[in-house]
Amino acid sequence: MVREYNVAIVGATGAVGTEFLRLLEQREFPLASLRLLASKRSAGRSLRFCGREYTVQELTPESFEGIDIAFFSAGAGRSREFAPHAVAAGAIVIDNSSAYRMDPEVPLVVPEINPEDIALHKGIVANPNCSTIIALMAVAPLRKVGAIRRMVVSTYQAASGAGAQAMQELLDQSREVLLGQRPQPRIFPHPIAFNLFSHNTPVGEDGYNEEERKMVLESRKILHQPDLRVTATCVRVPVLRAHSESINVEFEGARPPLEAIREALASFPGVVIVDDPERSHFPMPIEATGRDEVLVGRVRADISNDNAIDLFVCGDQILKGAALNGFQIALEWTRRQSA
């Protein structure tokens, strides 16, 4: 018999939380029970799942009694406060926030890349940052053909990365601009419609913002390459959903043949090559939206560096960049429980 699990979703009313709910239903996860948790402000709302209404409960330290798996997507502060209570109650926490990603005691996992790290958990498994997941889905396969020395990444990040209210802000501001009105920022610090700006996380003394530092540090941890050279520039763009990234990858030795690189990408689970120069058809966020896979294209030799290549990738930030990756971690954990 297939074992069933008692599952809780923390942040159930948010963009990623509702995506977790959809995945559990559509992918027929073996559920024994479901508990939807959110802030006091959202408690009492009803969400539909598998043909019935579930009432959202207020998140408290006592919310995890009897829970086997707790998906957290309510921000780093809530994770730090409540994840220990979930672990103490016997649950495995799959945390989508930044709270535990760089904790040496917490595995940081992309299941296609380092699933074995799940076995190292002590109650919490961290879901990487969205831009890191999308980049590494394209970079990790390249290790089959050559050791990687350096990554240079420029991101074009959609409003979805800042949540459901930010997505609505892009829609509202677009209407305002088209009506000749001045857009009024509420979630973002600057107008997002018909504009772009540096990712609005705090900038440190080194000149890198938090999003860029996540790319650097998380990539090293996931790939188990503490000396990997990584630099990133992260930018918000007026796209509703799905992040795009331009990636330059430098190998330790001579650049592998492009055909071997394409074969490595094409054979990697979760990657789809979209690379048609004749039609100028390459990865686009509009085509990545709603897809599980990361789209990879513009595969070409770097004419300025004999050891490097360039790629362009797109991935759905809410799916593979967040909820889907966490869902896959849960599936891998359940598989190991049954083995």
Both 137 and 268 in a single domain? yes
Percent of the chain clearing pLDDT 90 (strictly above): 95
Please tell me whether residue 247 adopts helix, strand or coil conformation: strand
Pairwise CA distance, residues 218 & 102, whole Å:
7
Pairwise CA distance, residues 132 & 29, whole Å:
26
| β-pair type (271-273, 294-301) | parallel
Both 165 and 233 in a single domain? yes
Both 30 and 59 in a single domain? yes
Both 203 and 269 in a single domain? yes
Q: How confident is the model at residue 330 (pLDDT cuts 50, 70, 90)?
A: very high
Task: Give residue 109's identity as a one-letter amino acid code.
Answer: V
Residue keyed to tokens 């990545």? 288
What is the DSSP code string of 299-321? EEE-TT-TTEEEEEEEE-TTIII
Both 149 and 296 in a single domain? yes
Q: What is the pLDDT of residues 142-179, one digit of tens each?
A: 999 999 999 999 999 999 988 889 999 999 999 999 99
What is the DSSP code string of 132-157? HHHHHHHHGGGGGTS-EEEEEEEEEE
Both 115 and 32 in a single domain? yes
Q: What is the pLDDT of residues 266-310, one digit of tens each?
A: 999 999 999 999 999 999 999 999 999 999 999 999 999 999 999
Please tell me whether residue 322 adopts helix, strand or coil conformation: helix
Which residues lie across from 48 on neighbouring strands?
Answer: 53
pLDDT of 164 reads: 83
Q: What is the mean pLDDT of residues 186-191?
A: 96
Both 146 and 266 in a single domain? yes
pLDDT of 15 reads: 86
Both 120 and 151 in a single domain? no
CATH of the domain at 119: 3.40.50.720
pLDDT of 1 reads: 67
Q: Classify the C-alpha dihedral 85-86-92-94 as positive or negative.
A: negative
Judged on CB neighbours under 10 Å (0-12, 13-18, 19+), 226 is: exposed
Both 251 and 278 in a single domain? yes
Which residues lie across from 236 on neighbouring strands?
Answer: 157, 197
The total domain count for the chain is 2
Which three-class secondary structure string do you get for 93-136?
EEECCCCCCCCCCCCECCCCCCHHHHHHCCCEEECCCHHHHHHH
Q: How confident is the model at residue 225 (pLDDT cuts 50, 70, 90)?
A: very high
CATH of the domain at 282: 3.30.360.10
pLDDT of 339 strictly over 80: no
Both 163 and 83 in a single domain? no
Q: What domain range includes position 189? A: 132-317
Give catalytic status of residue 314 as yes or no: no
Both 160 and 297 in a single domain? yes
Please tell me whether residue 47 adopts helix, strand or coil conformation: strand
Per the prediction, the chain carries an average pLDDT of 96
Catalytic pick among 199, 234, 243, 314: 243
Catalytic pick among 85, 121, 130, 234: 130
In degrees and rounded to multiples of 5, residue 220 shows phi and psi of -60, -40
Distances (CA, A) of 204 to 198, 211, 212, 226, 269: 14, 11, 10, 21, 36
Both 281 and 294 in a single domain? yes
End-to-end CA distance of the chain: 13
Task: Enumerate residues 6+ apart whose C-beta is below 8 A from 94.
Answer: 69, 70, 71, 72, 124, 125, 127, 326, 329, 330, 333
Task: Enumerate residues 6+ apart whose C-beta is below 8 A from 261.
Answer: 142, 145, 299, 309
